[in-house]
Amino acid sequence: MKYVDEFRDPKTAKALVERIHRSASRIVRHRDASVKIMEICGSHTVAIFRSGIKALLPDNVVLVSGPGCPVCVTAMEDMDRMIALSDPTRKEDVIVATFGDMIRVPGTRTSLEMEKAGGADVRIASTPLEALKWAQDNSDKPVVFLGVGFETTSPTVAATVLKARELGLRNLFVYPAFKLLPPALTALLESPDAAIDGFLCPGHVSVMLGADSYRPVAAKYGKPCVIAGFEPLDILLGLSKVCDQLANNLHEVENAYGRAVTNEGNRKAMSMLMEVFKPEDAPWRGLGNIPASGLAFRDEFSSFDAVGRFDLDMVEAGPEPHACACGEVLRGMIHPVDCPLFGIECTPENPVGSCMVSSEGSCAAWYRYNT
């Protein structure tokens, strides 16, 4: 298939794998331990497993998954509040609009899927504009869109809010649980227990952020950052560039996804995002509170904020599940199989932690694909 097969060509893959092996053997000469490369993004994790790339890498190149799956990093308190919105015993009927991956994520007591079965009006949207349409079609009911995602997704929600304002819609709301990537990377590298040697940076988020946004991280922490796309050859090229840098003791930002990512990113989308929202401290599952890593509505858009409109601050926040090691997994400290719950108490059918729920979650990917 055009534009797909070109990026899955086995011959080119073989050449890139050989290049990775050559760099890895040079790395061995100046380091005893293996190198740990973090693929930040959940889509990379899944693509790596699906294409079987792990089995092709040298022993001293270890891939760990990062905090780049938006469902996985959504804090329990946000989950509980979003689920509370769908509670059918509320005084008014609320239409909860959400991306599909969210509906099975367990809160402290229940999930959107269970509430839906109990009569809640929970609808799966493939774009936030669908929520806008539902708000237009149901003018007597509030429609709340669950705002989960990184810079890839959040600008589309900002654009939807701007459109709703233009249309004078008063029954569309957003629960803003968005996350920003750069503050999370900084928090990760500041943590004393995360020993990461280089990053495979996400393609989609970088389309928005631009390659320049990684330069401070690469310079300050001395880590190679290579932006890669999601096709198997994109990933192999990205990994080969990280390994080349490690072999040469470099720590630069490289863009291996030039067909989509520019240095400056999508300024228009980002300015739209910042027109509607402002950075705010945010809780991350497993990583705790990270300064200026989330988004809150700016005052002039506060009428769209579901948190104020539905008294969600009053919902009691539940604790993280006992013994769940999502935090260590998201920081790349352990592999999912090292969690005591993995595959026993926590499976895709009965997930305990959010990393097992999302199709992009690293635990779900390990469970589903690891031989």
Partner 1 sequence: MSDDRVLLSHGAGGKRSSELIESIFLKYFNDPVLLELNDMAVLDLPHGRVSMSTDTYVIDPLFFPGGDIGSLAVHGTVNDVAMAGAVPFAISAGFILEEGLPFEVLERIAASMAVAAVEAGVRIVTADTKVVPRGAVDKLFINTTGIGIIPRGVNVRGSLAEEGDRVLISGTIGDHGIAIASSRDGIAFETTVESDSAPLSGMINELISALGQDIHVLRDPTRGGLATVLCEIASQSTVGIRIEETSIPVRDAVKGACELLGYEPLYLANEGKLVAVAAPEAAERALEIMKLSKYGKDACIIGEITGENPGKVILKTAMGGSRLVDKLSGEMLPRIC
Binding to partner 1 (CB under 8 A) within 128-157 occurs at: 130, 148-150, 152-153
CB 59, min distance to partner 1, A? 15
Residue 363 · residue 327 · CB < 8 Å: no
| Closest listed residue to residue 117, CA positions, set 147, 83, 156 | 83
Any contact of residue 362 with partner 1 (CB under 8 A)?
A: no
The nearer residue to partner 1, 8 or 278, going by C-beta atoms, is 8
125 near partner 1, rule: CB under 8 A? yes
Contact 285, 73 (CB under 8 A): yes
The least CB distance from residue 47 to partner 1, in Å, is 11
Among 35, 39, 49, 201, binds partner 1 (CB under 8 A): 49
Q: Does residue 230 sit in helix, strand or coil?
A: coil
Residue 181 or 226 with smaller CB distance to partner 1: 181
> Which strand (E) or helix (H) includes residue 59?
none
Binding marks (x or -) toward partner 1, 333..352, rule CB under 8 A? Answer: --------------xxx---
Backbone φ and ψ for 288, nearest 5 degrees, come out as 80, -160
Q: What's phi and psi for 350, nearest 5 deg?
A: -130, 75
Smallest distance from the beta carbon of 32 to partner 1, in angstroms?
Answer: 27
CB 328 within 8 A of CB 12: no
Cβ(208)–Cβ(266) below 8 Å: yes
Question: Is 309 a residue that touches partner 1 (CB under 8 A)?
Answer: no
Q: Which is nearer to partner 1, 43 or 362 (CB)?
A: 43
- 255 vs 195: CA distance, rounded Å: 23
| Contact by Cβ (8 Å): 199, 224 | yes
Which span sits near partner 1 by CB under 8 A: 9-17, 87-95, 160-168, 299-307? Answer: 9-17
* Element housing 96 (H / E): strand 95-98
In angstroms, give the least distance from the CB of 228 to partner 1: 15
Contact 23, 247 (CB under 8 A): yes
- Our finding on whether 232 is near partner 1 (CB under 8 A) is yes
In the complex, minimum distance from the CB of residue 313 to partner 1, in angstroms, rounded to a whole number: 25
Of 102-110, 219-227, 259-267, 319-327, which part binds partner 1 (CB under 8 A)?
A: 102-110
Which of 91, 92, 126, 313 binds partner 1 (CB under 8 A)? It is 126
Q: Which of 172, 139, 137 is nearest to 158 (CA)?
A: 172
Decide if 358 contacts 218 (C-beta within 8 A): no
CA 316 vs CA 107, 109, 111: distances in Å? 11, 11, 15
Quick check: 369 and 49 in contact, CB under 8 A? yes
Q: Is 309 exposed, middle or buried (0-12, 13-18, 19+ CB in 10 A)?
A: middle
The two tokens of residue 69 are 């799956």
162 touches partner 1 (CB under 8 A): no
Out of 103, 135, 243, 363, the only residue in the binding site for partner 1 (CB under 8 A) is 103
- Asked if 13 touches partner 1 (CB under 8 A), the answer is yes
| Interface map 262-291 toward partner 1 (x if CB under 8 A) | ------------------------------
Residue 160 sits in the site that holds partner 1 (CB under 8 A): no
31 binds partner 1, rule: CB under 8 A = no
Q: Total binding residues for partner 1 by CB under 8 A? A: 48
Q: Which residue has the tokens 């040298």?
A: 58
Q: Site residues (CB under 8 A) for partner 1?
A: 1, 4, 8, 10, 13-14, 17, 43, 49-56, 70-71, 99-104, 123-126, 130, 148-150, 152-153, 204, 232, 236, 347-349, 358-360, 367-371
